Structure 1
Amino acid sequence: MSDRSQGSAPGGGAPGGAAWSGHDGARAFAAVEGATDRLLGYPFVLRALAGRIGTGQVLVDYGCGPGRVADHAARVLGARVLGVDTSPQMLELARASAPAVAGFHLVENGRVSGLPDGCADAVMCNHVLASLPTEDALLGVFGEIRRLLRPGAPFVLLTTDPACSGTEYASVRIGEPGAAYAPGDEVTVRLLRTDGTWQEMRNHAWPVDLFPELLGRAGFRYVGRHRPTVAEALAVADPDLVAARPWTAERARPPLVVTTAVAE
């Protein structure tokens, strides 16, 4: 999946995934609450992009889903943001709810329609990889993102660390308590919805240590990774959100990782 409360990807790069397919699935995905991501994820993705992209430059949100993160990025960064997703229904929602986004493009057969090679000054990809079942699928997504980026342009990737499985966070739980997952293993993820109920879906466990090698094979230079903390969020996240909860689990074991790379 992608942009948990935001989007899907081809399953995520394959935006969507069966749990979010069709109009009903798209609406259900748009109703994910996403507090943990809004605290420790998206603000740090935008921070990683700030100063690297600005007014008039093109930022692609790969796996944009309903488009809320893409819309916010356009307003904060001043960039020309393009939303990309494999789900036509997600893109339909995004067109109706993300007015700051400059355009939307469908991923078909692993390729973004209507976007030429080297058209992007930056790409962000949020919660897409967990939807993908194999390393080849991950490489396919990384390869298509590399095609879109001009040489030297940044790629910012947001993922959940499967090593944090079983922990009850404010809006998400990955896997079962006490369980360990090998790369690519299926894992059940529970996501809090805005109505207070929980949505379960099947994802795949991809450890963050796997990404540097795959990024290198896809034509990127790995830059590094950062695991945002609640203390850091005090300076970048919505102050009302920070004050709304104790964030006990997020403080003890931050689950989100921002990986950055540069197109070679």
Structure 2
Amino acid sequence: MSDERTGDSPGAGATWSGTEGARAFAAVEAATDWLLGYPFVFRALSRRIGAGAVLVDYGCGPGKVAGHAARRLGVRVIGVDTSPEMLELARAAESAVAEFHLVEDGRTEGLDDACADAVMCNHVLASLPDEPAVLSVFTEVRRLLRPGGPFVLLSTDPDCGGAEYASLRIGDPGTVHTPGQALTVWLRRTDGSWQEVRNHAWPVGRLPGLLERAGFRDVVQERPTVGEALETADPDLVRSRPWTAERERPPLVVTTALAA
């Protein structure tokens, strides 16, 4: 999902907008996400939908996660994003994603109400500055979902500050964040350097109430651990490093809700 982020190194402010921003986002390593995030999103989806279902990836970015979901779950994935440049990269990647659509003024072009069996949304909240923006995204996701369809949301816990995770550093330790508060994180790139990102903090405990206001029910949250990842994530990735910080305080939360 496009937001106000760019930059080349810690200390340089940043934006994913435009062509260069989209390319910078595509160069993020995301090892921690592939250990404790995306595999658990896929697992949550697999419990609710089967092969051939329609899955919308809301905020698909360059399409890498959407492509993995299509292949792993055997579903028809539709990628949507607010950034034309992100969608251009996604289309050029020739992934397993069926089609892509642009989100403009909060509405996804070309997609009807209740067109999706499920929706996933990964790290989009970090780009949203206030509660109305979050509710707008949740409301559009609810429009796209059939009744009873699952919405699976991956987010970083802003209270996990100070630790150096394999591919992530979150703000300062001991900081209590208010919803939408500006938050600096650093993301490791594939070349080993770090990119500073200006995010917004969304305490994970606030999400269930916002989801219910947008028309969801049966909200469940889980914080995946390295122990669980031994059976869920790619074995080569699991063996690739010690994951010391991830073991001490897992930083990612998976929230699942059903469309009412």
How far apart, CA to CA, are the structure 2 residues paired with 1:62 and 1:10? 14
State how 1:70-109 maps to structure 2 within 5 Å. 70-109=66-105
Residue 179 (structure 1) shift: 2.8
1: CA distance between counterparts of 2:94 and 2:120? 16
User: Counterpart of 2:35 in 1: which secondary structure?
Assistant: helix
Alpha-carbon separation, structure 2, partners of 1:77 and 1:11: 32
Q: Which has the higher helix share?
A: 1
| Aligned partner (choices 188, 194, 211) of residue 190 of structure 2 | 194
Describe the SS at the equivalent of 2:47.
coil
How many residues align? The count is: 252
Q: Runs of at least 4 residues of structure 1 off by over 2 A? A: 8-12, 177-180
Q: Does 1:121 align with 2:117?
A: yes
Map 1:43-192 → 2, pairs under 5 A: 43-192=39-188
Measured in 2, the distance between the counterparts of 1:65 and 1:11 equals: 14
- Three-state SS of the structure 1 residue aligned to 2:230 is helix
What's the secondary structure of 1:69's corresponding residue? helix
Match of 2:10 in 1: none
The alignment yields a C-alpha RMSD, in angstroms, of 1.3
Could you tell me which amino acid in structure 2 is paired with residue 216 of structure 1? E
SS in 2 for 1:163: coil
Q: Which residue of 2 aligns with 1:230?
A: 226
Contact 1:10 1:107 in 2 (8 A): no
Does the aligned pair in 2 maintain the 1:10–1:63 contact within 8 Å? Answer: no
| TM-score in terms of structure 1 length | 0.93
Instruction: Tell me, in whole angstroms, the C-alpha distance in 2 between the residues paired with 1:74 and 1:99.
Output: 9
Structure 2 unmatched runs, 5+: 6-13
Out of 238, 256, 263, the position equivalent to 2:259 is 263
Q: 2:242 aligns with which of 242, 246, 256?
A: 246
- Please name the residue that 1:22 is paired with: 18
Unaligned runs of 5+ in 1: 1-7, 13-17
